Each structure stands twice: as C-alpha cells, then as structure tokens.
Structure 1
Amino acid sequence: MLRVVLTGSECTGKSTLAAALAKHYKVEYVPEYLREYFEMKNGILAVEDVIPIAQGQLQYEAEAAAKGYNPLICDTDIISSIVYSKHYFEEAPGWLDDKLNRLGPSLYLLCGIDIDWEADGQRDMPEKRNYMQGLFINELKSRGIPFHAIDGPLNERTLKSIRAIDEALDVVEKNFFN
C-alpha cells in the first residue's frame, strides 16, 4: 500500500485535492480529524489536545487502510500536528515523533499557497501563509522527508499529483514483486 499525504499550511486546497484524487483512484480519502475535534472542543484547543488529535487522525488512517485502499490518500498527517503544535504551543509532544517514525515511508505532496484563502471558522492566519508554509517545508526538510510541490489550479494540481502517485505506485509494485 502507498500512503499519500497531502500537507501544507491552512487553506491550500488539501481537502479538495484529496477528493479529486480519491475519485480518480476510486478510493475514499482519509479526512482531517482536526475539523471534527475542533468543533467538539468549540474551537478552544490546548497543547493537551495535540495527541488526541493525532490519535484520531491515525485511527481514521487505520480504518481506511483496513478497507484495502491503495493508494491511501490522507488529507493530512502527524506532520501537521507537529508544525501547528510548535507554532501555537511552542512545543510538540515527543509521542508525535515516535508515531511518525513508525509510519514508514510515505509520498508527501506539499500543496502550494497560490490559491485563494477562505475563512471557515477554523482557519485563522491568512496573513501568515508564507510563514506557515515555510514551517511545513522546514519540518519536512529537517526530517529528510522528500516531497513534491503541488501548485496551480485544481486540474494542474490533480495531474501533477497523479503523475507522482503513479510513479510511486510503480516503485512499490516493483519492490513488492522483486
């Protein structure tokens, strides 16, 4: 199974792209658990919420993986929990690193900030898009996680993503059968 993670700062079209990719590959995508958790907590989060949010995300992934989806398309992952925890709370629980290291290799698609920002009650930093995107890039690079930059309108993003996913699926298939 190939785990595909859409990542990047808020309002970069991750959910929209995840839906388009899921349709193309005829799978369901793993939604962002934070949205549900944010509503449950009435929008008030503390550092104590970081691990439950990551656990919820991992549970969503496990449920989708159990259905045999390949690729497993994830609207976000623990990298987002790490970046936002460091930003809002100036720390990230070590538990996140342990879980991330156990997930193994994944294909990361970094969604660009070249689309319009839209308010939705959860998003709160339109003026910090470049800064937050830099935090995502730095986190990926500092961990040695390769990623594909995905930008442009949705049709371009979808095509770029499909090419990257298909290449990765070919590698996974060759490694599995050799």
Structure 2
Amino acid sequence: MKTVCLHGAESTGKSVLCERLLVTRGWPFVPEYGRTYCEENGIDLTMTDLLVIAEGQARHNRRALSDDDGAPVLLFDTDQLMTAAWAQMLFGEVPEALLAYPKADLYLLFEPDVPWQEDGTRFFGTDDTRTRFAALAEDMLVRSGVTFVRIAGTWAEREAKAVAAIEGVLG
C-alpha cells in the first residue's frame, strides 16, 4: 500500500479533499489528529503539545496501515512534517524528533491560493501569515528530501491534480 500525505498551510482544502477522495475513489484516509486535540484542549499550544500531537498522529497512521483493507493507497490528512512546520512557525525551532518519523511515499503540497475559512482551530488567516506558513511547510518537505507535488488552483483543479499525482505514484 502506498501512502500519500496532504501537506500545507491551514484552510487549503486538505481535509475536504481527503473526504472527497474517500467518497469518489474509495481511498481511505487518516484524519488530522491535531484538529481533534485542539478541539478538546484548546489552541494555546506549547511545544509539548506539538510533540503529543505528532505522536498521536503517528499512532493513528500506524493503526490505519496495520488495518490494511486492500486499498492501493492510504491518505494522511497530515503528518509530523506539518507538525514540524507548526513548531517553526509558533516557536522558531523544530525538534529533531519531528523530522525522524517515517515519511509518506508522496506529499501533496497545497498552496494557500483559496479563500481562508475560519473554523475555531485555525491560527494564520492573514495573507502574510498564510504565505509564511506555506513557505515553512514547503521548507520541511525540501529539508526532508521527500517527493512532493504542488496542488493549486480552483477546487476542481486541486482535485484533478491530486488524483493525477496519486495515480502516478500507484503506477
């Protein structure tokens, strides 16, 4: 089974696309643990919170991989490289532990070129902060040497590009 991680700044359509690809393609996904954590614990995060979120996401990702249902691909709504971008954005540093987790076979890097949607758990809604956060997200991918494809454009274009990239990794 191949793994594909949707990666990028907040409010760029990652979670919505995961849900849509489950419905239209039958591709299962692991939801973003950080969202659940913030809904339960608030958004006044510390570095310790980010490390807990990273481990929680890893636990959910591992569980989904072990529950292999025969699907050709498993989508991760996020992973620890995105948590690393959060650490850099919030605290100006990245614990090496966040870079040491297993990596997905492919990353889809979502550009912040769609309208911001506030949902109560989001932080960086101004154009400047979205651009900065997006750059940090990309930097984590480059720093880790992983394969990634940029996803931008309208919602339909984003979906088409994502499907093409995923089908490409599936061969």
Contact 1:29/1:72 (<8 A) preserved: yes
* 1:173 match: none
What is the number of equivalent residue pairs in this alignment? 167
Is residue 2:10 matched to residue 1:10?
A: yes
What is the CA deviation profile of residues 64-94 of structure 1, one whole-angstrom value per residue up to 9, with x for unaligned ones?
A: 2122143110111111110111111222222
Percent of aligned pairs sharing the same letter: 33
* 2:117 match: 118
Is residue 2:86 matched to residue 1:84?
A: yes
CA–CA distance in 1 between the matches of 2:2 and 2:132? 30
User: Which protein has the bigger helix share?
Assistant: 1
Say which of 68, 71, 83 aligns to 2:73. 71
Amino acid at match of 1:50: L
Contact 1:31/1:75 (<8 A) preserved: yes
CA–CA distance in 2 between the matches of 1:24 and 1:157? 14
What is the CA deviation profile of residues 75-126 of structure 1, one whole-angstrom value per residue up to 9, with x for unaligned ones?
A: 1111111011111122222221222xxx245211011211110111111211
Mapping 1:89-168, distance limit 5 Å? 89-99=91-101, 103-127=102-126, 128-168=129-169
Contact 2:4/2:104 (<8 A) preserved: no
Contact 1:25/1:71 (<8 A) preserved: no
Contact 1:112/1:151 (<8 A) preserved: yes
Q: Against the structure 1 CA distance between its residues 119 and 10, is the aligned structure 2 distance closer, same or farther, given a 3 Å change threshold?
A: same
Q: Which moved more, 1:142-151 or 1:74-83?
A: 142-151
CA–CA distance in 2 between the matches of 1:108 and 1:76? 9
CA–CA distance in 1 between the matches of 2:14 and 2:159? 11
Amino acid at match of 1:107: L
Q: Which moved more, 1:40-49 or 1:51-60?
A: 40-49
CA–CA distance in 1 between the matches of 2:17 and 2:63? 20
What's the Cα RMSD here? 1.5
**TM score, norm. by length of structure 1:** 0.87
CA–CA distance in 1 between the matches of 2:103 and 2:8? 19
The runs of 5 or more residues in structure 1 that have no matched partner are 171-178
**SS at 1:114's partner residue?**
coil
Contact 2:5/2:104 (<8 A) preserved: no
The runs of 5 or more residues in structure 2 that have no matched partner are none
Contact 2:105/2:147 (<8 A) preserved: no
